[in-house]
A and B are shown apart, each in its own frame.
Chain A
Amino acid sequence: MAQDVKPRVRVPKTASAGESVVIKTLISHRMESGQRKDSDGNLIPRSIINRFTVEFNGQNVIDVDLAPAISTNPYFEFEAIVPEAGDMKFTWYDDDGSVYEDVQSIAVA
């Protein structure tokens, strides 16, 4: 597992049905591009988050492919319509096979 990886998510706790809410996500990650060399001239192997998905009650909300040029600690902010109360599940896929998950519940007021 890459070092110091920590997902963070900001989701409103409540929303009204059909309302569009702002969701912010950030994962601490080095996002090593695979292009850099260390002091001995050897290539530092690529190690990035390559995919990020969000599901709401099992239904896909967004699905993002990440490329090596994306900088350290990738941050995503998007809007989503909340049709009903439920769980929003965030998943980040690491090059090394690790999968980081976070789940946030949204209540409908």
Chain B
Amino acid sequence: MKTAPIRVITTFSAGLAILAGAAAADPDADLVINDEIQIITRAEAPAHLEGALPEIRSGWTFRTRETQALQMDDFENPGFSAAEMAIEAWETAEGSAGKSCADCHGTVEEGMKGVRAVYPKWVESAGEVRTIEMQINDCRTNRMGAEEWKYIGADMVNMTALIASVSRGLPVNVAIDGPAREMWEKGKEIYYTRFGQLDLSCANCHEENYDNYIRADHLSMGMSNGFPTYRLKNTRLNALHDRFKGCIRDTRGVPFDVGSPEFVALELYVASRGNGLSVEGPSVRN
């Protein structure tokens, strides 16, 4: 159901689209990173969406050609130099146990390939749905005896970018059945709940108005496969929960805390909407 404010946005979009025409996105372009990693940027919508979207599209397909090009070569992708910063942290022993990530997991490629595609997931030993960030902090505190990283701090987002980078090209495939179902249902409820003074839900923009303009912003389907994302607007890597926070703030609502059960549930639900798209992180967006 569309509300009055949304209709206003839709009307404006026609005029704005002409202005943006010069560098408009090429929605049919293919994304191949470094001439070798094939990325699926358009896929069939997962069954649980029940026709809410005709197909699913990566945020990459909504960006301008210039922004798209930045992601096609790791050398040009500014998010990659941040991800490479984490290689040192991966190999550095920290904490009372004197262990590094590499001591248990081997190289990032060996230990982490495929991880980004299936998280968040139910972790039986912990009895909860966990994000990669939660697993990293669990490793740091319980296995390494080191201090936790801040959930969206630079150390953490660089590390999640590094972990994501070795899964690029693999399709997102988070499990929504079994014990994860409860969190998924909760995330779905949040996705369709209107927040803030502007009374907007995630779906109002990213399901009902994707490809329209909200003032100068070209709305995507809000897929999470590209996170962490290097954003040109703030010239750094952005964690998914940071982005959630920004979205709720933009509705003039009070965001949930990063790492909160609400955002973990939302992350699981949003990831499941993108089941079938390739992992792209660290991606480049505006």
A-B contact pairs, 15 of them (CB 8 A): A4-B85, A6-B81, A6-B84, A6-B85, A8-B75, A8-B81, A8-B84, A10-B75, A24-B75, A26-B75, A26-B81, A28-B81, A28-B85, A73-B78, A73-B81
**Cα A27 to Cα B223 with chains together (Å):** 32
Task: Name B's interface SS.
Answer: helix
A73: nearest residue on chain B (CB-CB)?
A: B81
Count residues of B near A (Cβ-Cβ below 8 Å). 5
Task: State how many angstroms separate the Cβ of B247 from the closest Cβ of chain A.
Answer: 28
**Cα A26 to Cα B78 with chains together (Å):** 10
Contacts of A6 in B (CB 8 A): 81, 84-85
Q: A4-B85, A6-B84, A26-B75 are in contact. List 5 more A-B contacts (CB 8 A).
A: A6-B81, A8-B84, A10-B75, A28-B81, A73-B78
Contacts of A4 in B (CB 8 A): 85
List CB contacts (< 8 Å) of A52-75 with chain B.
73
- Among B78, B81, B85, the most chain A Cβ lie within 10 Å of the Cβ of B81
The 8 residue pairs across chains A and B that have the minimum distance between CB atoms: A10-B75, A28-B81, A24-B75, A4-B85, A6-B84, A8-B81, A8-B75, A6-B81
**Cα A10 to Cα B74 with chains together (Å):** 10
**Cα A10 to Cα B81 with chains together (Å):** 13
Contacts of B75 in A (CB 8 A): 8, 10, 24, 26
Task: State how many angstroms separate the Cβ of B78 from the closest Cβ of chain A.
Answer: 8
**Cα A26 to Cα B81 with chains together (Å):** 9
Contacts of B84 in A (CB 8 A): 6, 8
Contacts of B81 in A (CB 8 A): 6, 8, 26, 28, 73
Contacts of A8 in B (CB 8 A): 75, 81, 84
**Cα A26 to Cα B85 with chains together (Å):** 14
**Cα A85 to Cα B204 with chains together (Å):** 59
List CB contacts (< 8 Å) of B51-79 with chain A.
75, 78
**Cα A101 to Cα B75 with chains together (Å):** 18
Contacts of A73 in B (CB 8 A): 78, 81
B78: nearest residue on chain A (CB-CB)?
A: A73
Contacts of A10 in B (CB 8 A): 75
**Cα A55 to Cα B280 with chains together (Å):** 36
List CB contacts (< 8 Å) of B67-113 with chain A.
75, 78, 81, 84-85
**Cα A4 to Cα B85 with chains together (Å):** 8
**Cα A49 to Cα B75 with chains together (Å):** 20
List CB contacts (< 8 Å) of A1-30 with chain B.
4, 6, 8, 10, 24, 26, 28
**Cα A32 to Cα B26 with chains together (Å):** 38
**Cα A4 to Cα B154 with chains together (Å):** 13
Contacts of A26 in B (CB 8 A): 75, 81
Task: State how many angstroms separate the Cβ of A104 from the closest Cβ of chain B.
Answer: 13
Contacts of A24 in B (CB 8 A): 75
Contacts of A28 in B (CB 8 A): 81, 85
Task: State how many angstroms separate the Cβ of B285 from the closest Cβ of chain A.
Answer: 19
**Cα A37 to Cα B254 with chains together (Å):** 34
B75: nearest residue on chain A (CB-CB)?
A: A10
A9: nearest residue on chain B (CB-CB)?
A: B75
